Amino acid sequence: MATVRDTTYDLLRALGMTTVFGNPGSTEEPFLHAFPDDFHYVLALHEASAVGMADGYAQVTGAPAHVNLHTAPGTGNAMGNIVTAWHNRTPLIVTAGQQTREMLLLEPRLTARHPTELPQPYVKWAHEPVRAQDVPAALMRAYATAVQPPTGPVFLSLPLDDWAQPADPPPQARTVATRFAPDPERLRQFAAALATSRSPALVFGAAVDRAGAWEAGVALAERLVAPVWSAPAPERTAFPENHPHFQGVLPFAIGPLADQLRGHDTVLVVGAPVFRYYPHVPGETLLDGARLLHVTDDPEEAARAPIGDSLLGDAGLTLAALTDLMPPTDRSPPPARPVPSAVEDSVPLSADALFAALARHWPADGVLVQESPSNLSALRRRLRFDTPGSYFTMASGGLGYGLPAAVGIALAQRDTGRHRPVVAVIGDGSFHYSVQALWTASRLRLPLVVVVPVNQQYAILKAFAELKQTPGVPGLDLPGIDVTAIARGYGCATRVVDNPDQLGEALATALRADGPTVLPVPIRTDVPPIL
Ligand SMILES: Cc1ncc(C[n+]2csc(CCOP(=O)(O)OP(=O)(O)O)c2C)c(N)n1
């Protein structure tokens, strides 16, 4: 007779979810026992890494990923990256083992207390099935919840004795729609507002990339002859950054952002929150009564916007429909973006010089994963991304995402047969939050390159303290860390790059390797301003 375990594996197979990211414990072993040959268990040495890898993997494959965690402590360790998956809108099915049902009343060791509350409010649905026989159908419901817009993580707590129980007839492997079209009447109102605007501006966010809608965005920008900005602090890029209409990334503070959009009477934001701010610099959301139009597939994101009118819909379907409704215009093209000044290659390198060198040697079709907080502006100045799916970072502000995400992204490049080279730029502070992800990359022989700008400090926190005039904050310096020794310890090749001439060769060698390479680069310690 089929067990709950048999039926669940069959369903996972039917849903195409044969990769499991995790870190096992006793409460998961009954699920993992006799692990089927057609499944792949990706072992992470810490749950933050398991979730980060699954997130990167899901974003590249375009399908939900499965993470299996160890009851309450494992879920706790995973929480930072579950928060990030929520903000990233990554569909993840997070399962966690639970103690034996028969003993739960007396709360034995490893009981998850209130398991469905633990990951809240950063999952779309959290559930512990009432009967063992409900486990497969709960998984089906979890899948359907995760992949419908707004996509995101879901959580199941699964008692360890459920797996051996006799199963009910298997649930149907259902399909659900993963995008929806905008209301045609409201769409026409948005189109009319854009068509009659004197000077429209477009702001595109990560959902445009997630929707595979770059072409639709370019088509609308060209039809409107409008400038395009990236939404502030985007987790993915959404528009070709060498396109003549592209103006750069908007600043992540209220006053400066409004300043940047000054003079535009209508601003259309597609696929991003309005807006993702970080330091508080007061001001108006937009100046001079400019009208804001917001397209999102998330009713909560629409509700949170402080001004403007919203339209619910998939970014790609909405952009295409708006373009179809747009009359031709004879507006003059937007100004070209200024070319960044030349860099000085003196040693130690400035962040600008490092990223200018990286841009010179950037591999064709390369994918960048970024978690280098104070160097972000320099990186975005020097490296431009011109193709979809080429840039990833976290939407949350929580460190410890980039390194494991890069491992998941590199694995997905291999599993999908795309084989795009993956380069991560991870600050020497950020490096340590999920550093054990390097071991997984090494075991999987992934040719991942990790460039670590070494400034021996939490520079962005110094910049924030300067902006807020809060001197004397302790704990912002990181002397005495041997990045090379740590990377070697996890099985990576390493090479310190201390001048720009070495970077090209080091990068090329690393990309040809059959394992990860960590390239620490000492950089200058002056602190760039936060805005
Ligand atoms: C989980 C988590 N803990 C702490 C922070 C606060 N924090 C933000 S940036 C930062 C420093 C990052 O240092 P590094 O990677 O060296 O980058 P740098 O600022 O020097 O460029 C810290 C500690 C955070 N964002 N997330």
Ligand 1 center to 382 CA (angstroms): 22
For the CA of 463, the closest atom of ligand 1 is: 19
Residue nearest to atom 23 of ligand 1 (CA): 458
Centre of ligand 1 to C-alpha 73, Å, is: 24
Ligand 1 centroid–CA 457 distance in Å is 9
The mean per-residue pLDDT over the stretch 444-455 comes to 98
Q: Is 428 in the pocket of ligand 1 (CB under 6 A)?
A: yes
Task: State the Cα–Cα distance between residues 126 and 11, nearest whole angstrom.
Answer: 19
Question: If pLDDT is split at 50, 70 and 90, which confidence band does 429 have?
Answer: very high
**pLDDT at residue 295 above 90?**
yes
With a cut of 90, say whether residue 345 has pLDDT above it.
no
User: Which amino acid residue places its CA nearest to atom 4 of ligand 1?
Assistant: 399
> What is the secondary structure of 414-454 as a DSSP string?
HHTT----EEEEE-TTGGGTTTTHHHHHHHTT---EEEEEE
Four-residue CA torsion sign, 479, 480, 483, 489: negative
Q: For residue 185, how far is its CA from the centre of ligand 1 (angstroms)?
A: 45
As a three-state string, the secondary structure of 469-488 is: CCCCCCCCECCCCCHHHHHH
80: which residues sit within 8 A by CB, 6+ positions away?
48, 398, 399, 400, 401, 433
| Lookup result for tokens 């003993």 | 103
8 Å CB contact between 458 and 478: yes
**H-state helical runs in 117-263:** 135-147, 184-195, 206-210, 214-224, 254-260
How far apart, in whole angstroms, are the C-alpha atoms of residue 359 and residue 501? 13
Side chain identity at 360, as an amino acid letter?
A: R
Token code pair at residue 453 = 């700008």
* 273 C-beta closer than 6 A to ligand 1: no
pLDDT-above-90 percentage for the chain: 99
423 Cα–ligand 1 center, Å: 20
What is the rounded CA–CA span in Å between residue 67 and residue 155? Answer: 10
Assess whether the C-beta atom of 427 lies below 6 angstroms from ligand 1.
yes
Q: Is the CB of 457 under 6 A from ligand 1?
A: yes
Nearest CA, atom 10, ligand 1: 458
Give the Å distances, CA to CA, from 216 to 142, 322, 386. 31, 9, 15
- CA–CA–CA angle 380, 383, 389 (5° rounding): 90
Query: CA-CA distance, 366 to 67, in Å (whole number)?
Result: 27
Exposed/middle/buried for 100, CB within 10 Å: 0-12, 13-18, 19+?
middle
**Looking at residue 414, what is its pLDDT?**
98
The two three-digit tokens of residue 170, written as one number: 């298997």
What residues contact 269, with CB distance under 8 A and at least 6 apart? Answer: 203, 205, 231, 275, 292, 293, 294, 295, 308
Q: So what's the pLDDT on residue 522?
A: 98
Burial of residue 375 (CB within 10 Å: 0-12, 13-18, 19+) is buried
Residue 43: is its pLDDT beyond 90? Answer: yes
pLDDT tens, 249-266? 999 999 999 999 999 999
Model confidence at 51, pLDDT cuts 50, 70, 90, reads very high
What is the tens place of the pLDDT at every residue in 54-81? 999 999 999 999 999 999 999 999 999 9
Q: Ligand 1 in contact with 374 (CB < 6 A)?
A: yes
Query: pLDDT at residue 320 above 90?
Result: yes
**Secondary structure percentages of the chain, helix, strand, coil, to 5:** 35, 15, 45
Query: Ligand 1 pocket test: which of 374, 435, 450, 457 has the largest number of ligand atoms within 8 Å of its C-beta?
Result: 374
The closest-lying atom of ligand 1 relative to the alpha carbon of residue 426 is 15
The pLDDT of 494-501, averaged and rounded, is: 94
Residue 49 alpha carbon to ligand 1 centre in Å: 17
SS3 522: strand
This prediction's pTM: 0.98
Mutate to test the pocket of ligand 1, among 458, 523, 525 (most ligand atoms within 8 A of CB): 458
Contacts of 424 (CB under 8 A, 6+ apart): 368, 369, 370, 371, 402, 403, 406, 448, 449, 450, 451
Instruction: Round the average pLDDT of the chain to a whole number and report it.
Output: 97
Length of the chain in terms of residues written: 531
Centre of ligand 1 to C-alpha 430, Å, is 6
Q: Whole-angstrom Cα distance, residue 284 to residue 277?
A: 13
Cα 332 to ligand 1 centre (Å)? 42
399 CA → ligand 1 middle, Å:
6
Would you say the C-alpha torsion 104, 107, 112, 117 has a positive or negative sign?
positive
399 Cβ below 6 A of ligand 1: yes
CA of 444 to the centre of ligand 1 (A): 28
Rounded to the nearest whole angstrom, what is the distance from the C-alpha of residue 458 to the centroid of ligand 1? 6
Q: Is the CB of 377 under 6 A from ligand 1?
A: no
| Contact residues for 6 (Cβ-Cβ < 8 A; gap 6+) | 167
Ligand 1, closest atom to CA 399? 26
Average pLDDT, integer, range 302-313:
98
CA of 429 to the centre of ligand 1 (A): 6
Q: What is the mean pLDDT of residues 495-503?
A: 94
Task: Provide the edge-to-edge strand list for the sheet that holds 200-204.
Answer: 246-249, 228-230, 200-204, 266-270, 291-296, 309-312
Provide mean pLDDT across the span 181-191.
Answer: 98
Residue 13 has pLDDT above 90, yes or no: yes
Cα-Cα-Cα-Cα dihedral sign, residues 396, 150, 301, 233: positive
Taking residues 432-453, what's their average pLDDT? 98
Q: What is the pLDDT of residues 400-427, one digit of tens each?
A: 999 999 999 999 999 999 999 999 999 9
Taking residues 436-457, report their average pLDDT. Answer: 98
| Residue type at position 481 | I
Question: Residue 356 and residue 351: Cα distance in Å, rounded?
Answer: 8
Q: How far is CA 506 from CA 152, 377, 437, in A?
A: 37, 24, 21
Residue range 215-240: mean pLDDT, rounded: 98
Pocket test for ligand 1, best of 372, 460, 526 (most atoms within 8 A of CB): 460
pLDDT in tens, 86-117: 999 999 999 999 999 999 999 999 999 999 99
Give the β-pairing of 291-296 and 266-270.
parallel
Ligand 1: residue whose CA is nearest its atom 22: 458
Nearest Cα residue to 31 out of 162, 170, 167: 162
246 CB under 6 A from ligand 1? no
Contact residues for 365 (Cβ-Cβ < 8 A; gap 6+): 387, 420, 421
Tell me the backbone φ, ψ of residue 450, rounded to 5 degrees. -115, 110
Beta carbon of 81 within 6 Å of any ligand 1 atom: no
In the block, tokens 């400066």 appear at: 256
Expressed in angstroms and rounded, the spacing between residue 427 Cα and the centre of ligand 1 is 8
The C-alpha torsion from 403 through 405 and 406 to 412, rounded to 10°, is 160
Q: Give yes or no for a contact between 178 and 207, defined as CB atoms under 8 angstroms apart.
A: no
User: What would the pLDDT profile of 471-492 be if each residue is shown by its tens digit?
Assistant: 999 999 999 999 999 999 999 9
The percentage of the chain sitting over the pLDDT mark of 70, rounded to a whole number, equals 100
The Cα 188–Cα 403 span in angstroms is 43
Q: Which atom of ligand 1 is nearest to the CA of 478?
A: 16
Residue given tokens 């060498």 in the structure block = 242
Mean pLDDT of 27-32: 98
Omega within 30 of 0 (cis) for the link into 348: yes
Cα(31)–Cα(29) distance, rounded to whole angstroms? 5
